[in-house]
């Protein structure tokens, strides 16, 4: 393999070399992204130029990273698709072939949440509460969705349903996907929904080799209709080879021990392999006071832990919280330089112009990115080299136009003239997708450019800033030092009272959230709570410790964590 500095283990090598349908159960830190990127490189070496790979990641950030690592060393992406399942369904199925079924739209598409639809469509779609899945689709539903399609409107909640309907009813769609793609690879499969699972299995039935990768212990999006059962269903399915990546190369052995013992407590028959060590790196800290006092303690604790465990650079530190509200609070309360990573409305926009604007923002603020890399992502559009030169010039103009402002303060200042900046973004989108103009994407771009916090979310991680984010957003990331906050009763695991009885809604989701948060840590993990806490109304409440720290069933974990060193 070209430019490969790492040597795969035996279990990794088997997955890389397997060219059939397979399901991979991958533990945290097991080298999953390395294996997938190497597998994609091998496939790209073998397939003809007119074919490629469908590489689906759960988030845009994870997709960008998989694409970067798969193409490093000068690999030709050929006709590959890197992105989320929503963007794949939208671009490769619904836009491309929906017109064969519903007719041609009268304008470019907007993808709109059902509660934001114009009347009378809002009321009609709200009446579709019985449409739980693709299996529940009726002719009445299709009539409304078809009318919306002709008006250039796609309901966000219906993306998976529409993609499956178009797939099943357009022979041209099926022939195209079979001809263009040799493999479909979906990461984080434990967070798949029903419609995504259907698309995956239908592609496999077409003869596209299918690879599902995930870990049932990291399923944390049940609230969004995702379910680990689809990953489990593939294990043992005829025609799917089962592989495992079980060795955690990321975490210090004591962190791995803690995580395995924690998750093993709730898994019947699971006997984790524990490596004995006296070097304990999982710590618990109870701060006297509330969140303001936690922030002050973190300011003093960071230099102590960095010196003790050889951690260099604030960018290697993650503060993980339960909500964006808490993230914003700690970003303001810390004296240590930090960045709160949020998701913008533009990130959620999946039309072609919105995706182009997001990619351009990442390019603008990353000195390591290049206009050519953006062009390569769309290279199959340009048969004429004159258009390629035109595209690259326009991409470079985007960065030059913003650099003329001189600072982010000037860019986001009240009354700043954003017209030439927005125009430069639009110029690029028009080269790529001249017939896909989307006014909503332009409005969302303007909103990002006006708001400093939103704009900063497109900056690459700064080595001089602590990174603050939610447990959910930390998925797939890693840090030398993790401060795992919000370990309170009622918060993690979620708890409520019903007729005098305690209930734990989404209990297994809470278990997996704690497991995911702890395994983001490579060298040190600190479990933090305080004697008081503020609720969402900013009312001061007693800060009882999380059941994950105090429950009798988990008392054995106290043996493999220690009190904080400061």
SS3 content of the chain, % helix, strand, coil (to 5): 50, 15, 35
Q: What's the per-residue H, E or C state across 296-331?
A: HHHHHHHHHHHHHHCCCCHHHEEEEECCHHHHHHHH
Residue 244 CA to residue 537 CA, distance in Å, equals 45
Q: pLDDT digit string (tens) for 248-289?
A: 888 999 999 999 899 888 876 667 778 889 999 999 999 999
Q: How far is CA 530 from the centre of its chain?
A: 30
Tokens of 181: 């793609």
Residue 445 has pLDDT above 90, yes or no: yes
Residue 83 parent element (H or E): strand 81-83
386: confidence class by pLDDT, cuts 50, 70, 90: low
More confident residue, 354 or 222: 354
Rounded Cα distance between 138 and 135, Å, is 9
**Rounded Cα gap, residues 335 and 299, in angstroms:** 6
Give the pLDDT confidence score for residue 555 in this predicted structure: 84
Please report the domains of the chain, with CATH numbers, ordered by start residue: 10-86+170-245 (3.40.50.300), 99-168 (no CATH), 253-342+461-563 (3.40.50.300), 345-456 (no CATH)
Alpha carbons within 13 angstroms on the beta-carbon side of residue 43 total 32
Mean of the pLDDT values across residues 41-58?
93
Enumerate the β-bridge partners of residue 541: 533
Neighbours of 287 (CB within 10 A): 21
Q: Which of 89, 80, 92 is nearest to 172 (CA)?
A: 92
Taking each helix axis from N to C end, the angle separating 352-365 and 439-450, rounded to the nearest 10 degrees, works out to 30
Q: How far apart are alpha carbons 395 and 372 in whole angstroms? A: 9
User: Is 39 a residue whose pLDDT tops 90?
Assistant: yes
- What is the Cα–Cα distance from 54 to 36, expressed in whole angstroms? 12
pLDDT in tens, 456-503: 888 888 889 999 999 988 888 899 999 999 999 999 999 888 888 888
Separation CA 238–CA 512 (nearest Å)? 29
Name the pLDDT band for 29 (thresholds 50, 70, 90).
Answer: confident
What tens digit of pLDDT does each residue of 112-130 get? 877 778 777 777 776 565 5
- Residues whose CB is less than 8 angstroms from the CB of residue 341 and which lie 6 or more positions away in sequence, other chains included: 327, 457, 467, 468, 469, 473
Reduce the DSSP state of residue 154 to 3 states and report it: strand
238 pLDDT higher than 70 = yes
Q: Which three-class secondary structure state does DSSP give residue 203?
A: helix
In DSSP terms, 466 is beta-bridged to: 338
Q: Given phi > 0 = left and psi -120 to 50 = alpha, else beta, which region is 505?
A: beta
Name 260's Cβ contacts closer than 8 Å, sequence gap at least 6: 272, 273, 274
Question: Looking at residues 295-314, what average pLDDT do you find?
Answer: 96
Place of tokens 């028009």: 430
Above 60 in pLDDT, residue 384?
no
Query: Mind listing the pLDDT tens digit for each residue in 71-126?
Result: 888 888 888 999 889 889 988 999 889 999 999 888 878 888 777 787 777 777 76
Distance CA 94, CA 344 (A): 24
So what's the pLDDT on residue 334?
Answer: 97
Mean pLDDT of the chain: 87
The per-residue pLDDT for 1 is 36
Pairing of strands 81-83, 282-287: unpaired
Whether residue 224 has pLDDT greater than 60: no
The CA angle 298-514-64, to the nearest 5 degrees, is 85
Comparing 5-14, 270-279, 318-327, 416-425, the range with the smallest average pLDDT is 270-279
Q: Is the pLDDT of residue 558 over 50?
A: yes
**Average pLDDT for residues 350-373, to the nearest whole number?**
83
pLDDT computed for residue 41 by the predictor: 95
Retrieve residue 80's tokens: 């590959």
Residues contacting residue 504 through CB under 8 Å, at least 6 positions apart: 493, 494, 495, 510
């Amino acid at each position: 393999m070209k430019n490969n500095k790492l040597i795969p283990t035996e279990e990794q090598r088997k997955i890389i070399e397997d060219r059939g349908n397979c399901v991979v159960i991958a533990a945290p830190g097991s080298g999953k992204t390395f294996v997938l990127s190497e597998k994609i490189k091998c496939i790209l070496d073998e397939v003809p130029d007119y074919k490629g790979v469908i590489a689906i990641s759960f988030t845009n950030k994870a997709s960008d990273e998989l694409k970067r690592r798969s193409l490093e060393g000068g690999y030709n992406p050929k006709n590959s698709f890197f992105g989320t399942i929503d963007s794949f369904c939208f671009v490769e199925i619904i836009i491309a072939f929906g017109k064969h079924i519903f007719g041609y739209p009268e304008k470019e598409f907007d993808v709109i949440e059902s509660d934001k639809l114009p009347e009378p469509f809002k009321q009609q779609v709200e009446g579709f509460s019985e449409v739980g899945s693709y299996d529940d689709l009726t002719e009445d539903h299709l009539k409304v969705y078809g009318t919306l399609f002709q008006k250039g409107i796609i309901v966000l909640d219906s993306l998976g349903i529409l993609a499956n309907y178009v797939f099943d009813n357009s022979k041209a769609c099926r022939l195209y996907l079979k001809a263009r793609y040799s493999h479909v690879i979906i990461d984080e499969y434990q967070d798949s929904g029903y419609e995504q699972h259907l698309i995956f299995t239908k592609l496999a039935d077409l003869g596209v080799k299918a690879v599902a990768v995930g870990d049932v212990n990291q399923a944390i999006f049940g609230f969004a209709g995702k379910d680990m059962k689809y990953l489990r269903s593939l294990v043992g399915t005829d025609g799917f080879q089962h592989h495992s990546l079980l060795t955690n190369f990321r975490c210090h052995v004591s962190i791995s021990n803690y995580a395995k013992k924690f998750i093993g407590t709730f898994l019947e028959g699971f006997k984790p392999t524990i490596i004995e060590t006296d070097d304990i790196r999982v710590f618990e800290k109870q701060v006297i006071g509330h969140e303001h006092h936690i922030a002050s303690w973190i300011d003093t604790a960071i230099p102590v832990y960095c010196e003790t465990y050889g951690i260099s650079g604030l960018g290697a530190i993650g503060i993980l919280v339960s909500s964006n509200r808490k993230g914003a609070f700690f970003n303001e309360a810390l004296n240590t330089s930090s960045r709160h990573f949020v998701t913008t409305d533009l990130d959620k926009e999946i039309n072609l112009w919105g995706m182009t604007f997001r990619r351009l923002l990442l390019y603008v603020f990353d000195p390591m990115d290049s206009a050519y890399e953006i062009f390569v992502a769309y290279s199959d559009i340009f048969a004429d080299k004159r258009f390629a030169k035109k595209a690259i010039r326009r991409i470079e103009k985007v960065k030059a136009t913003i650099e003329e402002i001189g600072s982010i303060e000037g860019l986001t200042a009240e009354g700043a003239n954003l017209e030439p900046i927005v125009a430069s973004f639009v110029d690029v989108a028009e080269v790529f997708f001249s017939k896909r103009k989307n006014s909503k994407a332009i409005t969302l771009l303007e909103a990002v450019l006006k708001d400093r916090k939103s704009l900063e979310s497109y900056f690459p991680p700064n080595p001089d800033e602590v990174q603050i984010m939610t447990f959910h957003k930390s998925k797939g990331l890693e840090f030398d030092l993790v401060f795992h906050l919000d370990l309170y009763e009622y918060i993690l695991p979620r708890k409520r009272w019903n007729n005098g009885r305690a209930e734990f809604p989404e209990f297994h989701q809470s278990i997996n959230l704690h497991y995911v948060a702890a395994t983001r840590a490579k060298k040190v993990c600190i479990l933090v709570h305080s004697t008081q806490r503020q609720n969402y109304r900013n009312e001061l409440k007693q800060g009882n410790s999380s059941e994950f720290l105090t429950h009798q069933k988990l008392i054995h974990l106290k043996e493999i964590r220690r009190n904080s060193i400061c």
